[in-house]
Chain A
Amino acid sequence: MSETQATTVNETNYLNASSTLRSWLLTVDHKRIGILYLVTLTGFLLIGGIAAGLIRLELINASGRFFSHETYNKIFTAHGVVMIFFFLLPSIPAVFGNFLIPIMIGARDLAFPRLNLASWYIFVIGGVFGLSALVLGGVDTGWTFYTPYSSTYANSHVILTALGIFVAGFSSILTGINFIVTIHKMRAPGMTWFRLPLFVWAHYATSIVIVLGTPVIAITILLVACERLFHLGIFDPALGGDPVLFQHLFWFYSHPAVYIMVLPGMGVMSELIAAFSRKRIFGYTVVAMSSMAIAIIGFFVWGHHMFVSSQSIYAGLVFSFLSFLVAIPSAVKVFNWTATLYKGSISFKTPMVYALGFIGLFTVGGLTGLFLATAAVDVHVHDTYFVVAHFHYVMIGGAMMEFLGALHFWWPKMIGKMYPERVSRAGSILLFIAFNLTFFPQFILGYMGMPRRYHVYPPEFQLLHRMSSLGAGLLFISFAVVFGSLLWSLVKGKKAPANPWPAKGLEWETSSPPPTFNFDRIPEVTEEAYAYETLFGDEPGPTS
């Protein structure tokens, strides 16, 4: 691609440039901020995961065993709030977007490095509010905060949790603005829009959704708080409000938010598939534009969450139609990724196992999305475990698998160590099996009529619930293997070369880990992304 940067062993890099706590907490280096997010988000993932474990533990028995109704409700709310607002929404953009976008486009940092650090602090402050609500006794509204339950009836820490989400939202907005400006203004010479890695395109689309959508949830949360604190009649009909208005506002953000969570994963996906089949992504332009199409159409489908909410049936029909349309760009992406494998040179390193797993799980998630877009079927499965299963196939099968794929793919770059290939690969395969065992039975449960958010349930659903809980136990073991082997590699891992796979892309042309300012000289880009036919240049054989 461009001239390879001369790198020598043991030179200073962004990790060992300084080692004081102060140098980490006051860093404006996008790579260090990415690591700060990685540590913070892993903490939230653990909390959200423990809540998930408690839910599955309780549902082993149809009549519940360990918790009161109130405690159960608080646990599933904690799981949803933490996983969505404090893990999945920031996950890939805040960690990998932060770390990689400047390097991938040949820049020394994001456009606004201090703003980037401020975003992390704002996120941490939001997280502290969210966690303090949890510690003080929790909140029992569900992550969706439907009114008038949340605004008038719930006796729990709604305001504190809402404040946490409100504050964390600003972190997202600032990161989104930072990415948009960086991608527009900081590309290296020769890095044209259609030479950008698809990871960058996906983050560009995501940033637009973040910047346009997040203010809406912020306003909605403020309105709930106003009604709760000052009894302003906005959502509660007893005060003259409209309860369905909340759902419109909430889903106007929260449906696009699903794309905030999954689009960056699709970007990761394109990088992995290209690298491990040594092929330019089939239909590069189509894949890039499908991200933009998802981002735009995604804003007009929110009403499919409300087919049974008393929304007019004509609105329901329009939303059903538009929801089918938004499925097309996702399907096109899946076909293009599959076609990329054709006549490739495919290797099954751990990140590729995650990528192939993603195709399978995301295809199930996407196809079951069609069930929910079909108005008459949705009426039956709305608010049942079918939706829970669909959502987890898209979010865990999609976003989470890609988070882990990205973590393994760029781990050598970020940390400078190789993860243990065989253990990590075994972990990824176990994760795939455990995931399906956990969530596939929930599709059946849902169509059988099992409502979501039920603490106790009719005994005929118990067998399927137990399969799901067994899967959840296996999921815990696989996560332990996955994260255990990464932690092991921190200490014992082999030192990573600059380009271990080897893969194309500017991030692989700088040392592992990269120096503080990424490149000794700003590279000049002379070829398209994923030009794998020139992978080894004139010298055959891998560089490592």
Chain B
Amino acid sequence: MNLLSILPVSASAYAQQVDALYLFLVGMSVFFLVLIGVLITIFSLKYRRRSAGEVPAKTRSHYQLEIMWTVIPLILVMVLFFWGARLFVRYSMPPNDAVEILVTGKQWMWKIQHPDGRREINNLHIPVDQAVKLTMTSEDVIHSFYVPAFRVKADVLPGRYTTLWFRPTEVGRYHLFCAEYCGTEHSLMGGLVYVMSKADFEVWQKADGGAAGVGQLSPAAAGEALFKAKGCAACHTETPAALAPSLHGMFGHTVKLNDGTEVTADENYLHESIINSQAKIVEGFLPIMPVFQGLLTEEEIQQLIAYIKSLTADKGEGS
């Protein structure tokens, strides 16, 4: 990295779009700073006081000027607003081909689960040109997942899921930082994002016999095992007489609640319904599910949700 360059490395197309907007802002700022600076210098020299008793004539107010320097900046900032907003909106929508990776922040480390079950701590290995969507939560305080080379950042909150996505275009190693102050070792909470060529990534994936070789199940498979171990299957029997609602084909669809309202069954809804099961009761069912607050780790909840999502994907109704 060239220390004298004013731009950090960029490793995605999105990063270059942000840089373009940034450079426009820099150019505009330099223009106005020079404009003000030159005016002040000229006035200071030309109108410096030449005798102690000097009294200049009164200047009349000038409303055309006032309107001009209100309207021109207004037009400029509207350009900035729409340019920034367009990028911001585009960046907030992960593409459909994105691979989902689960991230859990905790004081002071990042825990990462790949779809094949492989896990990492503080590092993230991904293939180049592959869109990646991170679904993130925290086990304690607020953290923030920040990769400067992709110009992306999102806070990672306890009790809910946030997402972040990027499509790296350059092979390399990039900083991963926690950007939200999270306590004593905040500045150590980070590592590296390894963007690898497809071939290298496959080698990395298959090392030690792959995820299964190191005894790791995919999140959905681990979730299925938990689903049985924690006794969920006792009520969520998927039979007409079941005491609990069917989970097949539910994810991403509308669920009707017993107070007449409707919610979309997304990650945040499932998270709440697991740890605080009394909050929203599905129409036609009784509030009999135990509260799992404190009984499951965030990673386990992520695995259960991955399993529930797989039940919808199996039916070919994936969202």
Contact = CB atoms under 8 A, between A and B. Distances in A.
Given A346-B44, A380-B152, A363 B33 contact: yes
Interface in B38-58: 39-40, 43-44, 47-50, 52-58
Contacts of A453: 181, 186-187
Given A243-B157, A286-B61, 18 more contacts: A69-B187, A73-B181, A153-B107, A283-B65, A310-B162, A324-B78, A335-B69, A344-B43, A359-B36, A360-B40, A367-B29, A375-B88, A383-B153, A383-B179, A448-B148, A451-B179, A455-B186, A533-B57
Interface residues of A, number: 100
Interface in A251-299: 277-280, 282-286
B146 A449 contact: yes
Interface in B143-177: 144, 146, 148-149, 151-155, 157-160, 162, 175, 177
Interface in A221-252: 236-238, 240, 242-244
A140 B183 contact: yes
A338 B36 contact: yes
B187 A338 contact: no
A363 B186 CA distance: 33
Contacts of A454: 186-187
Interface in A118-161: 140-142, 144, 146-149, 152-154
Nearest to A364: B33
A153 B80 contact: no
A533 B146 CA distance: 58
Contacts of A236: 158
A376 B21 contact: yes
A307 B155 CA distance: 9
Contacts of B92: 313
B56 A279 contact: yes
Nearest to A382: B153
A48 B148 CA distance: 31
B97 interface: no
A377 interface: yes
A499 B175 CA distance: 59
A284 to B, nearest CB: 7
13 contacts: A240-B276, A277-B47, A308-B153, A309-B155, A321-B81, A344-B56, A345-B55, A346-B44, A360-B40, A363-B33, A367-B33, A451-B146, A463-B3
B285 interface: no
B25 A370 contact: yes
Interface string B174-210: 0101111111111110000000000000000000000
A107 interface: no
Interface size class of chain B, counting residues whose CB lies under 8 Å from the partner chain? 35 or more
Nearest to B69: A335
B69 A310 contact: no
Interface of B is mostly: mixed
A343 interface: yes
Interface string A298-314: 00000000011110010
B65 to A, nearest CB: 7
A480 interface: no
Nearest to A539: B53
A70 B199 CA distance: 43
Nearest to A461: B3
A339 B86 CA distance: 36
B47 A310 contact: no
Contacts of B87: 375-376
Contact of B148 (A316, A378, A449): A449
Given A332-B70, A364-B33, A380 B18 contact: yes
A495 B237 CA distance: 93
B74 interface: yes
A376 B84 contact: yes
A211 interface: no
B52 to A, nearest CB: 5
Contacts of B69: 331-332, 335
A325 B74 CA distance: 7
Given A346-B44, A376-B84, A460-B1, A149 B183 contact: yes
Contacts of B91: 376, 379
B249 to A, nearest CB: 27
A374 interface: yes
B146 A383 contact: yes
Contact of A343 (B17, B59, B88, B140): B59
A279 B56 CA distance: 7
A368 to B, nearest CB: 7
Contacts of B80: 324, 370, 373-374
Interface string B278-300: 00000000000000011000000
A449 B8 contact: yes
Interface string A316-335: 11001100110110011011
A284 B36 CA distance: 19
Given A310-B157, A455-B187, A280 B36 contact: no
A520 B22 CA distance: 59
Given A313-B92, A447-B7, A154 B183 contact: yes
A149 B36 CA distance: 43
A533 B74 contact: no
A448 to B, nearest CB: 5
A449 B44 contact: no
A69 B184 contact: yes
B73 interface: yes
B214 interface: no
A379 B85 CA distance: 11
Contacts of B140: 148, 153
A536 interface: yes
A516 B25 CA distance: 52
Residue from A243, A370, A380, A444 with most neighbouring chain B CB atoms (10 Å): A380
A347 to B, nearest CB: 4
A371 B162 contact: no
B7 A146 contact: no
A488 interface: no
B148 A317 contact: no
